[in-house]
A and B are shown apart, each in its own frame.
Chain A
Amino acid sequence: MPDADLLNAYNYDSFVPEKFMPWMRFDESPPLGERTPDFPLWRLDGGETSLAQTLRGHAYTVVEFGSFT
């Protein structure tokens, strides 16, 4: 069960520096050239897949992270 504080902090309600800046962690992201962690992901029809499963289908896969807003 996800931690409620984490859910609230990650899904912040206002774009103010004290709420969004803690998530700007690109410098701490995994290095290139090394295998990275896998995570469950969901298709729009609700079916479950995973990052690794998604990547296996192509020589290269471009993954854009983002949202409507």
Chain B
Amino acid sequence: MNEIADRYRDQGVGAVFLYTHEAHPGEIYPRLTSMAQKFSNARDLRDKLGVTRSILVDALDGACHRAYGSMPNMTWIFNKSGVPVYKSDWTDAASVENALQYFLDVKRRRRSGARLAPFHVERLDYRTQDREGFYAGLDRNGPKAVSEFRAAFG
């Protein structure tokens, strides 16, 4: 996702990471109980996990996150007026890039004089599953996060 942000920055595309809640709390990264802790974890996201996009922090009660469906790692694309044009219940870089290319083409078609009307489409996208990498990520949170995920999903 960082690479996509870099690749499309010059084409009028912004990218932010919105910090929500700890989806898999563990001994090292337990549940959030204060904004100070939330800011600290968000800085770790930048410093330890290498998120180079602007990071914004939601309220402690997740007001924004909850209003948009509160999925643990979803992605939305908004236009300049704040209208969402894409939403995905899981973040997948290929899906996001595919959508961006489509919307940038819409912009080009409009500029060339095409009269366009919006319509709704649903599509099932597919992401690569990296179970090993996912468990390695959980392990960073503490062993509790690993055992709880195994108990929930095997």
A: residues with CB less than 8 A from B are 2-3, 6-7, 10-17, 20, 23-30, 32-44, 46, 49, 51-52, 54-69
Contact = CB atoms under 8 A, between A and B. Distances in A.
Contacts of B4: 62
23 contacts: A6-B61, A10-B21, A11-B21, A13-B30, A15-B23, A25-B71, A32-B87, A34-B83, A35-B81, A36-B67, A42-B35, A43-B55, A44-B46, A58-B13, A60-B80, A62-B1, A62-B15, A62-B96, A64-B17, A65-B75, A66-B20, A66-B72, A69-B23
A36 B152 contact: no
Given A16-B148, A67-B19, A68-B49, A10 B56 contact: no
A63 B75 contact: yes
B133 interface: no
Interface residues of B, number: 87
Contacts, number: 234
A67 B61 contact: no
Nearest to A14: B148
Contacts of B144: 14
A13 B18 contact: no
Contacts of B55: 43-44
A46 B5 contact: no
B58 A29 contact: no
B56 A42 contact: yes
B81 A58 contact: no
B54 interface: yes
A55 to B, nearest CB: 5
